[in-house]
Structures are given as structure tokens and as C-alpha cells.
Structure 1
Amino acid sequence: MAEIQAKLQALSEDYQKLQNDLQETVTARQKLEAQKQENLGVQKEFNKLKDGETIYKLIGPVLLKQDKTEAESTVNGRLEFIGKEISRLEDHLKDTQAKIEKKKTEIIQVQSSAQAAGAKPVSARA
């Protein structure tokens, strides 16, 4: 019986680690989505600009003048990177969720076998 308890404990710890990993991934995904929305907003603002208007980039406490083409390129590059990261995290989420379901099934099987093993001696005594 102690062996089954140890196995259940190990499975529960693995399950908890997977749950924590899932939560961290969801949080990272949310941060990336916020960054994506922010960059999409900047991109929309660029589209509203007229030719010759000045763009400034905040670097530390200083605003530096920046070329429109360079600024647009930077934002487009960020959006592309964020899109790839979101895609990667979504794949990781699916993988982690599958692992969680598998671990949950393992836990249920061990619990069922423990209950069955515990029930047999009781019925034998009756």
C-alpha cells in the first residue's frame, strides 16, 4: 500500500508541475498578446501620419528623432516576432494540456487499482 501511496504522490507532484507550467505559459501568452495589441496600435498611428511628420523614439529618458521607414520596419519586425512567439506558446499549451490529461488518467488508474486492491481483502473476510 505504501508503494501505491508513493506512486500517487509522485504522480500528483508531476501533475502540479504541469499545472504550474501551464499557468506560466498562459501568463506569457497574455503578455505577448498585450504587446501585440500595443504594436498594432502603433502601426495604426503610423498609417495616420502624413508625409514629413516627425517620429520620436523613447530611449531611456531621451526622445530621439527616427526615420518613418525605420520605425515602421521595427514595429513590423516586432509584430512578426510576437506572432511567432504566440504560435510557439500555443503549441506548448496544447502539448502541456495533453500531458496533463495523460497524467490525470494515470492518477485515476492508480487510484482505481488501489481501491480495487483495498476492496478485495475486505470482501474475502466477509
Structure 2
Amino acid sequence: MSLEKNLEKESLEMRKLQSEYSKLIETSQQLSSQLQENELVQKEFSLVGSDAKIYKMIGPVLVPQDKEEAGLNVEKRIEYIKAELTRVEARIKELATLQEKKSLEIYNLQMKFKEQATISK
């Protein structure tokens, strides 16, 4: 494979990594926001009495829900979001490392390409 084609291939791979990285950053931000919202709901549940009426919105309708059941649902949601956030953050770190390596590979290929262009003149 020629040096130029190799450089193009590596650049394309780098753009794919950057695209995935951007999407994961956005996902991480959304998950963090959801986590904060659910933790706020959990805090609110701890402030209301056991006889409080809790409603869950299902579509356009508010449906009564047991406080314990609602609390358990929020707790499970928080656990899920935390696990998902951990997974996404691990992938973000992995992609950051891959991007650094790919950037170095591209830099080395560019240097070889410049050398080759200088020698052939």
C-alpha cells in the first residue's frame, strides 16, 4: 500500500474515532443529567410522608402509584444509569487513548510522506 493511501486510511479511521468519541460525550452528558434528575426525585421521596400520593405519568395520563414501588423504580433507574455511565466513561477513555495513538501514527506517516516528497524532488 502506498504511503498516501495509508495516510488516507489512517485519517479516515481517526475521523471515525472522533465521531464516536463525540457521540459518547453527548451520551455521557445525557446520562449525567438523567442521574441528577433521578437522584433529585429520590431525595423528594425521602421528604414526603408514607401516606403521600405519588403519581406516574404514562403518556398524557397520571396514574397513582405506591410510594414504595415508585421508590424502588427510581432506585433501579439510578443503578442502571450509574452502570451505563461507567461503561460509557470507560469507552471514552479507551477512545481517547486510541485517538492519541492514531494521531501519532498519522504524524509519523506525514513525516515519511514529506521525506519522500523531499527526496523525489
TM-score by length of 2: 0.95
**Contact 2:50–2:67, Cα closer than 8 Å, also in 1:** no
CA offset at residue 115 of structure 1? 1.6
| Number of residues of Structure 1 aligned to a counterpart in Structure 2 | 121
CA offset at residue 111 of structure 1? 0.8
Instruction: Give unpaired runs (5+ residues) of structure 1.
Output: none
| Aligned residue in 2 for 1:50 | 49
Give CA-to-partner distance per residue, 1:51-91, whole Å, 9 cap, x none.
21110111111111111110000000000000000000011
**Contact 2:35–2:78, Cα closer than 8 Å, also in 1:** yes
Tell me the SS of whatever aligns to 1:53.
coil
Relative distance call for 1:61 and 1:121 in structure 2 (3 A) is closer
Q: Percent identity?
A: 36
CA offset at residue 7 of structure 1? 1.1
Tell me the SS of whatever aligns to 1:52.
coil
Higher alpha-carbon Rg:
1
| Aligned residue in 1 for 2:78 | 79
Question: Following superposition, which runs of at least 4 residues in structure 1 exceed 3 angstroms of deviation?
Answer: none
Alignment of 1:16-95 (within 5 A): 16-95=15-94
CA offset at residue 117 of structure 1? 2.0
CA offset at residue 44 of structure 1? 1.1
Letter aligned with residue 57 of structure 1:
K
Tell me the SS of whatever aligns to 2:2.
helix
Instruction: Give unpaired runs (5+ residues) of structure 2.
Output: none
Q: Aligned partners of 1:121, 1:67: CA distance in 2, in Å? A: 79
**Contact 2:24–2:92, Cα closer than 8 Å, also in 1:** yes
Q: Aligned partners of 2:120, 2:14: CA distance in 1, in Å? A: 30
